[in-house]
Amino acid sequence: MMRSPTPTSPTSSTSGLRRSIGHLHPDLLASPLTPKEKEIVVNPVRTAEGTCKDGAFFESHMAMAFKEARQVLDDCGLGIVVFAHKTTAGWEAMVQALVSGGWTITGSWPIDTEMGSRLRAMNSAALGSSVHLVCRPRPADAGVGDWGSILRRLQPRTDQWMRRLVEEGVVGADAIFACL
């Protein structure tokens, strides 16, 4: 009996695809690993080129990616960004990258996407949900809002949204970040 690669193998899904459809897309499945040097991540270890992938790197490169996505989308289109992070700094970087890329977030919803039994989640405060951000292109002539006005309207909306999330069974950090 032939055994398939274990799910924890870093190349198991790629090698499975390579075996099943590799002949159809040899150019897409040629490399056994993902090209890490092009990933937009925060990683304190310097790359072979000496680049430090810090928070500024993440935010600026995500903004460039969102700007490119904005350029190819029709003005009446929408985009969905799936994101999860445990810190407000991570969320601040993502939101700033979206705004800098020409987007406005018009809605959000947490969806359970993470298995609690996965290795990363065991004995940690890992999130159970990813937040799906609904984004629309920000008009080029959009003005800047009044911060005082935003704050006055924010608290009642936050209270209402948190109640709905709790009713839907979304609690803890997942609810807080979905609300943010």
142-156 residues labelled b (16+ CB within 10 A) or e (exposed): eeeeeeeeeeeeeee
Question: Which pLDDT value is given to residue 114?
Answer: 65
Tell me whether residue 80 is in a domain: yes
pLDDT digits (tens), the chain, 180 positions: 333 333 333 444 556 777 788 888 888 777 766 677 788 888 877 777 777 888 888 999 999 999 999 999 998 999 999 988 878 888 889 999 999 999 999 988 888 776 655 555 445 455 677 889 999 999 888 887 887 888 888 888 888 988 988 898 887 777 777 776
pTM for this predicted structure:
0.66
Residue 71 forms part of a structural domain = yes
Whether residue 20 lies inside any domain: the answer is no
What amino acid is encoded at 60 in this protein? S
Q: What is the pLDDT of residue 3?
A: 36
pLDDT for res 36:
74
pLDDT of residue 14: 58
Looking at the domain assignment, is residue 76 inside a domain? yes
For position 50, what pLDDT does the model report? 78
Answer whether residue 17 is part of any domain. Answer: no
**Predicted local distance difference test score (pLDDT) of residue 28:** 77
For the chain, the 3-state helix, strand and coil shares in percent, each to the nearest 5, are 40, 15, 45
Residue 133 domain-assigned (yes or no): yes
- Strand pairing of 129-137 and 79-83? antiparallel
Q: How far apart are CA 31 and CA 60, in angstroms?
A: 27
> Is residue 94 assigned to a domain?
yes
pLDDT at 51 (0 to 100): 77
Question: How far apart are alpha carbons 12 and 9 in whole angstroms?
Answer: 5
Q: Which domain holds residue 87?
A: 37-144
Q: Does any domain span residue 155?
A: no
Number of domains in the chain: 1
Q: Give the pLDDT confidence score for residue 134 in this predicted structure.
A: 94
